[in-house]
Amino acid sequence: MNLVLFAEQELNGNILHLADFRAEHIRKILGLKLGDSLRIGMINGKLGQGTILSLDSTVSIAVQLDREPPPPPSIELILALPRPIMLQRILKQAATLGVARIHLIRSAKVEKSFFHSPALLPEKINERLVEGLMQAAIDTRLPEVYIHSQFNVFVQDVVPQLEGYRLLAHPHVSAILPEVFPQKQNQRILLAVGPEGGWNDFEVNCFLAQGFAAFSLGARILHVDTAVAVLLGQLQVLQMLYAACLPLASLA
């Protein structure tokens, strides 16, 4: 936990009282003492600094919020709903690495039972997203999460309303990410990642018809949580290289 996040309703004036896992982490992992400072932020609000006032059964922190979080991430993730335990890892990783929105969708290889998992309860989703932001330590904005149980409805009605350069991760194509990466600075990215084994032919064709460019991560088969983390990391590196005016063609 590199950033203590709290909800607005937890703040009493400018004092924050903690008695949960955050207090335990401050005492036992961070080892902070009275008067020590730490990074702190309000969920979907400002960032700042906290000063430890007490370390009893409740940890009390004087809060000073004085700066805005960075601009929202430029990446929006479309994800075939994975197994619940994997979903929890992906939500945390996506929040850590930085995405603006996550669309969890149905595909032919997604089991119907996944949509009835407690992992999709709003409070469970928020827990994982908050964990990711506390790890990243620079942002307070929770990614927005949307659940779509019908593939056709999502592709035909929702995708046309989404903004961004459209990329489709699929293991059975020859192109690689630098070859399809948009040659435009500050371009928003709409990234679609399928289930393990990839999208089926119908799904691929639907995405291609909506203007997605397909690419592969290579010959090795990855778990979805690994693939998402790798892809988000690669996209951010490519964005930084492009911003620095370095040639992307040399990476292809």
**Residue 125, domain CATH:** 3.40.1280.10
Q: What is the pLDDT of residues 205-221, one digit of tens each?
A: 999 999 999 999 888 88
CA diameter of the chain: 61
Tell me: do 120 and 242 sit in the same domain: yes
98: left (phi over 0), alpha (psi -120 to 50) or beta: left
Tell me: do 107 and 230 sit in the same domain: yes
When divided into structural domains, the chain yields a total of 2
Q: Looking at residue 30, which CATH number applies to its domain?
A: 2.40.240.20
Domain end: 19, 41, 67, which one?
Answer: 67
Global pTM? 0.91
**Cα 21 from Cα 31, distance rounded (Å):** 14
Tell me: do 160 and 241 sit in the same domain: yes
Q: What is the pLDDT of residues 144-201, one digit of tens each?
A: 999 999 999 999 999 999 999 999 999 888 899 999 998 776 789 999 999 987 899 9
For residue 18, the cross-strand partners are 59
Task: Give the torsion sign (CA, 26, 31, 33, 38).
Answer: negative
Tell me: do 169 and 187 sit in the same domain: yes
Tell me: do 95 and 196 sit in the same domain: yes
The residue range of the domain holding 239 is 75-251
Tell me: do 63 and 79 sit in the same domain: no
